[in-house]
Amino acid sequence: MLIANVRSVRLVMNSVMITNSKMHYKCRNIEKPYLRSDVYRVKVPDDKVKWEVVWPEYAPNDFTSSGAIGKPWADSVNVESQKFKWNDVDGLIDRRSYMGKYNLDGTGRPLNPVGRTGLRGRGVLGKWGPNHAADPIVSRIHHGQLQFVGIARRDSGEWALPGGMVDAGEDVQETLKREFTEEALDGKKYPELDMLWRKGVELYRGYVDDPRNTDNAWMETVVVNFHDNDGYLNNVTLRAGDDAIKLRWITVSLGQKLVQVSNRQALVTMSRRPGPPSIDGLYSLKIDNISYQTAPQDLRRLFEKYGEIGDIHIPRDRYTKQSKGFGFVRFYSRRDAEYAMDRMDGRWVDGREIRVAMARYERPIDERSRNGGSSGYRSSRRLVNSHVHIHMDT
């Protein structure tokens, strides 16, 4: 591995702090349902996380999202129906964990090496056992300050590293390069960056405390720093790809942590500028004048032809539980939302002329319940890189 400049590498490496505080925390959240579902985790106390602790009463829900069933990138639902090579390279799939050898439960499913999560199954993850990702930190020194490339994700508005899932048969180094090209170069390949890709310094390899994790499927990542000390990026046009709405060089003051692996999770932290708020329904459509009998699945049937749906919600009176006569359909892509609006506004549905308009909507706390809406699953592999976020506090 080539090192561009020892001082530059130390500058980045000294920004890294690894801590085990609050380990395995996000994947034990019982305050809200599991992602894009109405399924809740059971509470797992800190002293009962480890599998070595005997807990006969432990009986969590078993959930695998319908969006992660029958897809070419997904394992079979039943481990008995497919021969798996656990803790080994299984054809094009690397089922080895960065955490070492993992055990299997009584049904033959892999067991999360960190411990219980309060939920069995695969959830929204494609693979039983480890699901591997890769996250590149592309950095430089600009006017004496350390900077790195960050993107604002189109699906959530959150700032993140331009990383994603390792494809079947793909080397992690290729994933790092491919994801940065797709997310930060809008898919354009620059031969002049070949030297930069050879100068990576690995910062972290291991488990990710991710809200998608379950007892039987979990996220792992490799974080690699590519520091441009030779100006390779000077003649390159950085441009957000399809999954990003913004991209910029983010400045980190010297002495601040560039990457914090908290809960063995790679987090990019800084305190220079406030980021945009995370708005539930950033690309939402408000559907007015719907029938009081209209259910979320009815709206899904009407709108799913126009693009990938992330959430559907019909507000109801908190006391009578009756529909308020309007609903919200959230798309991952603004383009899809606008297309759906153009096609559906003014159409007659169930004897009513519905009105469709763009809207920003965040569910009130009292409406965030088990039966509050219908969730979808986005099949794009790049959605999964949300395990590395950039928190920008003032």
Q: Residue 312's domain is classified under what CATH number?
A: 3.30.70.330
Residue 256 falls within a domain, yes or no? yes
Shared-domain flag, residues 10 and 149: yes
Report the Cα–Cα distance between both ends of the chain, in Å, rounded: 37
Shared-domain flag, residues 238 and 335: no
Residue 199 falls within a domain, yes or no? yes
Amino acid at 353: E
Amino acid at 51: W
Shared-domain flag, residues 135 and 255: yes
Report how far residue 122's alpha carbon sits from residue 217's, in angstroms, rounded to the nearest whole number: 5
Shared-domain flag, residues 18 and 137: yes
Report how far residue 73's alpha carbon sits from residue 93's, in angstroms, rounded to the nearest whole number: 10
> What domain range includes position 309?
284-361
Shared-domain flag, residues 179 and 299: no
Shared-domain flag, residues 150 and 292: no
Token pair for residue 34?
């599991």
Report how far residue 346's alpha carbon sits from residue 384's, in angstroms, rounded to the nearest whole number: 36
Token pair for residue 259?
């990457």
Q: What's the farthest any 2 CA atoms get from each other in the chain?
A: 71
Residue 155 falls within a domain, yes or no? yes
Shared-domain flag, residues 246 and 137: yes
For tokens 């002329």, the residue is 353
Shared-domain flag, residues 343 and 250: no
Shared-domain flag, residues 10 and 145: yes
Q: What is the pLDDT along the chain (394 residues), one digit of tens a residue?
A: 223 333 443 444 444 333 334 568 889 999 999 998 999 999 999 999 999 999 999 999 999 999 999 999 999 999 998 899 999 999 999 999 999 999 999 999 999 999 999 999 999 999 999 999 999 999 998 887 889 999 987 766 778 889 999 999 999 999 999 999 999 999 999 999 999 999 898 988 999 998 999 999 999 999 999 999 889 998 899 999 887 889 999 887 544 444 443 333 333 433 333 333 233 445 789 999 999 999 998 999 899 888 878 788 899 888 888 899 999 998 877 778 888 888 898 888 888 889 998 886 555 544 444 444 444 333 333 333 345 555 444 3
Using CB atoms within 10 Å of the CB of residue 16, give its burial: 0 to 12 exposed, 13 to 18 middle, 19+ buried.
middle
Shared-domain flag, residues 256 and 327: no
Instruction: Count up the domains in the chain and report the number.
Output: 2
Distances in Å between the Cα of 59 and the Cα atoms of 62, 63, 355 are: 9, 12, 45
What pTM value is reported for the model?
0.64
Chain centroid, CA 37 distance in Å = 15
Count CA within 13 A, CB hemisphere, residue 152. 14
Q: Residue 171's domain is classified under what CATH number?
A: 3.90.79.10
Shared-domain flag, residues 160 and 250: yes
